[in-house]
Structures are given as C-alpha cells and as structure tokens.
Amino acid sequence: MRFTTRAAMFATALMVTSPLLASGLSNPTFEEQQILVKVDESRVQEGPEKRTFIEEQLALSPEAAERFWPVYEQHQAGLNELTRRRVENILTYARAYGAGSLDDKTANGLAREAIAIEEDEASLLKRTYLHASKAVSPAQAARYVQIEARARAIVRAKEAMRVPLIK
C-alpha cells in the first residue's frame, strides 16, 4: 500500500481510536479500514499498559483504588468520545484535502470543531480532577490529571506534525 499524505492524515486521526469509535464514518475506504484494524490492535495493547502505568504512579491503597478506578473509567469514556470527534474532524479535513479543495465554510467548521474539542477536553480534565480529588488525595488526583494531560499533549503534538496546514 502506498502511504500518501492522505493516508498519513488518516493514520494520525485514527491512531488512538478503534473501528467501533470510527463506525460513524460514511463509506470508509479500504485504506481507512486497514488503518483502523492496525490502530485497534495498538489500542488494545496500550490500554492495559496505561492503566498499569497509572497504578504504579499513584500507588493507591486497595480502598483508594476502589474509589479511584470508576473515576478513571469515566474519564477514559470521555476521552473516547473526544477522540471520536477529533477523528471525524481530521477525516473531514483529509477528505477535503485529498479532493484538492477546502472551501471557507468547511475550514470554518473544522476550526470551530477543533476549538470545541479542546474546550471540552479541558472541561473533562477539570471534572475528572474534582471527582478524583474526592476519591483519593488532591495530590494523587493532581498527579493523575497531570499524567493524562501529558499523554494527550503528546497525541496532539503527533497529530499536529502529521496533518498538513490548510492551504
């Protein structure tokens, strides 16, 4: 398979999602489907590693762990929804880019959605901190949201480096 700029954008968009999250795609191409399968395999491998890493970093007592993990799972569900939206936004751009045209209306919609996703992610992190700080100590909750913020910053940086600027 030839790895085009369009394919790179799809890979970037889909690197943290699964076919289930991307099921809203209209008429995914064969190329998109192959990328989805590879990304899903990576996601399945990374999920338990992330949880183990956070478990090691927070060193929770059994009682605190029982209170914390539901907060963690709720946060991951929120991140999955944000990821779905981010993927859809990047795919919309990739398809317009691949077609060789991006009109002002589409560009405006893409920019507004990208900003809304960032705002919603900040709100999610704030809510998660509030819930986590009730489940565990504020220091542990702060450490957790710091870990999540760093991980998401890395994902966003990788996306930014792979997605070409609008012409």
Domain ranges of the chain: 5-162
8 A C-beta contact, residue 9 and residue 94: yes
- Report the candidate in 23, 1, 159, 2 with the shortest Cα–Cα distance to residue 88: 23
- The whole-number average pLDDT for the span 84-95 is 84
pLDDT of residue 93: 87
**Tokens coding 78:** 């929120």
Which parts of the chain fold into alpha helices (H)?
5-14, 30-58, 62-99, 104-135, 138-162
Query: Tens digit of pLDDT for each residue in 118-155?
Result: 999 999 999 999 999 999 999 999 999 999 999 888 88
Count Cβ atoms below 10 Å from residue 163 Cβ, excluding itself. 17
**pLDDT at position 62 over 50:** yes
Query: Tens digit of pLDDT for each residue in 18-53?
Result: 343 444 556 767 766 665 565 556 556 677 888 899
- Report the candidate in 153, 163, 114 with the shortest Cα–Cα distance to residue 8: 163
- The whole-number average pLDDT for the span 75-84 is 88
- The whole-number average pLDDT for the span 53-72 is 95
pLDDT of residue 40: 57
Query: Tens digit of pLDDT for each residue in 91-103?
Result: 888 888 888 878 8
Q: How far is it, in rounded angstroms, from Cα 49 to Cα 89?
A: 27
- The whole-number average pLDDT for the span 113-117 is 96
The structure's pTM equals 0.76
